[in-house]
């Protein structure tokens, strides 16, 4: 399998490369991200044939969208070859005299903050006007009218806790899904869905809207297979799933060294032990843990493609090498036996 292989998102009428690049690192996830290195990382992905790029207003509070847009316009010479997905649900705002912002949302356990993000505060808005404004703002930040996929970002109890019901009502009854449908009908986006870390909320959303494609992060990996039942339902409804978080925030890419993060935080002891067991099994077959992690989701027919993050050209090269590695069937059998 090659990273440039094309995979069809049937309902959206799009083809994405089998491997896509997630742009959270360019917003300063875990550590500061310099613009030259971010652009070099994007160039390495482009030169390797990667054509799906996923970003969000949240990533660096607007910074990642600016960097991706600059690269596609000014350096890649993109003539429509790229497929770009971004997200909606957060607006970027700043406090100023005479305007009070809503109180900050409760601490999100999956938000580690941004080391050199822009000086804005995020405001959640999943209603009609919020979705429309978020779409317009993303177009402006990227300097790009073409946005192929728009994902509702981080709707769910994991992010919002007791405020979830209010945000869900805004999305379902307050016009959020209606705005997305109008954008699709007008041809301004090719498709929409959810971009979340919770399988359960995608399942609920399929009862409320005509979804095309969803991005599920971290819930169908070597360490966490809790999204398996959702994948079965998505396949039955022709809802494509792009799988993100295949390294579970880094631990499956770092093996026994580096950033041993799990779900955007330091990995707890039980996860460290399980990752070490998985790495030991991979070593017996002379396959790196990262190679097994990046290919595992694609063993499920519901998964259209995989997204990985990178903060350097070397990270891109490593992921490509892992992705294109031949993996024996015997290894999969051994890994799937690990509880």
Active site residues: 54, 59, 87
- CA–CA gap between residue 328 and residue 339 (Å, rounded): 20
CA distance 81 to 332: 34
Distance CA 152, CA 195 (A): 6
Number of C-beta neighbours around residue 128 at 10 A: 18
Nearest-5° angle of CA 304, CA 315, CA 335? Answer: 55
Secondary structure letter of residue 107 according to DSSP: P
What 8-state DSSP symbol labels residue 317?
H
Report the alpha-carbon distance of residue 325 to residue 298 in Å, rounded.
13
With CA atoms as reference, report the closest residue to 197 among 260, 114, 108, 126: 108
Report the SS3 class of residue 91: strand
**Nearest CA-CA partner of 143 in 200, 42, 74:** 74
Q: What is the DSSP string of 234-301?
A: HHHTT-EEEEE-TTGGGHHHHTTSS--EETTEEPPHHHHHHHHHHHHHHHHTT--HHHHHHHGGGGST
Q: Are 29 and 315 in contact (CB under 8 A)?
A: no
- Report the first-to-last Cα separation within the chain, whole angstroms: 28
């Amino acid at each position: 399998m090659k990273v440039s292989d094309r995979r069809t998102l049937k309902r959206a009428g799009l083809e994405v490369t089998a491997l896509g690049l997630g742009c959270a690192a360019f917003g300063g996830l875990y550590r500061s991200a310099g613009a030259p290195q971010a652009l070099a990382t994007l160039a390495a992905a482009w030169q390797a044939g990667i054509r799906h790029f996923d970003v969000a207003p949240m990533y660096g509070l607007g910074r990642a969208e600016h960097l991706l847009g600059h690269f596609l316009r000014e350096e890649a010479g993109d003539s429509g070859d790229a497929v770009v997905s971004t997200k909606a649900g957060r607006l970027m705002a700043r406090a100023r005299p005479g305007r009070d912002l809503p109180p900050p949302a409760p601490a999100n356990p999956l938000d580690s903050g941004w080391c050199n993000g822009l000086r804005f505060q995020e405001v959640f808005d999943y209603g009609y006007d919020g979705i429309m404004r978020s779409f317009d703002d993303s177009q402006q930040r990227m300097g790009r009218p073409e946005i192929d996929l728009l994902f509702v970002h981080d709707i769910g109890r994991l992010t919002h806790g007791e405020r979830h019901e209010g945000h869900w009502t805004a999305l379902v009854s307050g016009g959020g899904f209606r705005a997305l449908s109008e954008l699709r009908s007008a041809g301004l986006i090719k498709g929409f869905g959810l971009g979340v870390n919770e399988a359960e909320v995608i399942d609920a959303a399929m009862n409320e809207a005509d979804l095309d494609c969803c991005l599920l992060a971290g819930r169908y990996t070597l360490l966490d297979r809790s999204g398996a039942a959702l994948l079965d339902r998505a396949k039955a409804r022709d809802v494509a799933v792009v799988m993100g978080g295949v390294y579970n925030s880094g631990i499956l890419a770092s093996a026994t060294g580096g950033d041993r993060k799990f779900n955007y935080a330091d990995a707890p002891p039980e996860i460290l032990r399980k990752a070490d067991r998985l790495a030991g099994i991979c070593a017996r077959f002379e396959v790196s843990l990262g190679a097994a992690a990046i290919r595992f989701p694609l063993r499920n027919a519901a998964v259209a493609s995989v997204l990985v993050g990178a903060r350097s050209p070397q990270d891109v090269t490593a992921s490509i090498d892992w992705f294109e590695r031949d993996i024996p069937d015997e290894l999969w059998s051994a890994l799937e036996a690990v509880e």
